[in-house]
Chain A
């Protein structure tokens, strides 16, 4: 079945460093991938979208890559801040619906 995998272990980094989160997809080829941020007790909020024919997409301190050979997307937050601490979800198109990964919890330590 179509699957999106993310590192389920929490990622702890120091403030000011670059956080890199990984999203891998299996058993299908999504036309595009999306990244969402979810804060505790809240619903996910859309951050970025990248299409399969795009190698890289940027938005302020965020950067997303899409490698169809590796079947992987990387999500980078540069100059990370404690306010970036949250769970980040990767989602891929799959038929009429999205397939979501379990999310990776990021903690940025001051």
Chain B
């Protein structure tokens, strides 16, 4: 049972560099999302997707880009890393959007990103 798999686990970037955080799920979930978690602020939604080919912005999308070419994969791209993007990133998936009763979110193990 792989669930939601994120890579890399840890990454150090220099300011201005770009990188991609990978995310894959094997539960055939339509809904996938990326969150960042910062101390005292909880999980904040960056981008989400309700299905292959469909993406939308969350609460804090600036500086990030996503695409959803398959149901399984939802990579997050940092276009030009900034120190403010130092955070823990979580990929998540669920059967559908939150309007479906009983829906729960499955999270990956997180990616620790430091931008120096």
A contact set with B: CB distance below 8 Å: 4, 8, 31-32, 34, 36, 41-46, 49, 51, 89, 91, 93-98, 100-103
Contact = CB atoms under 8 A, between A and B. Distances in A.
Contacts of B58: 97
B42 A103 contact: yes
A34 B104 contact: yes
A51 B101 contact: yes
Interface in B19-54: 33, 35, 40-45, 48, 50
Given A42-B110, A49-B104, A102 B40 contact: yes
Task: Tell me what chain A mostly uses at the interface: helix, strand, loop, or mixed.
Answer: strand
Contacts of B90: 43-44
Contacts of A51: 101
Given A94-B98, A95-B98, A97-B98, A102 B104 contact: no
B82 interface: no
5 contacts: A4-B42, A46-B106, A91-B43, A102-B40, A103-B42
Contacts of A32: 101
B60 to A, nearest CB: 12
Contact of A98 (B56, B98, B106, B109): B98
Nearest to B91: A43
B41, B44, B98, B105: residue with the most chain A Cβ atoms closer than 10 Å = B98
A102 B98 contact: no
B109 A43 contact: yes
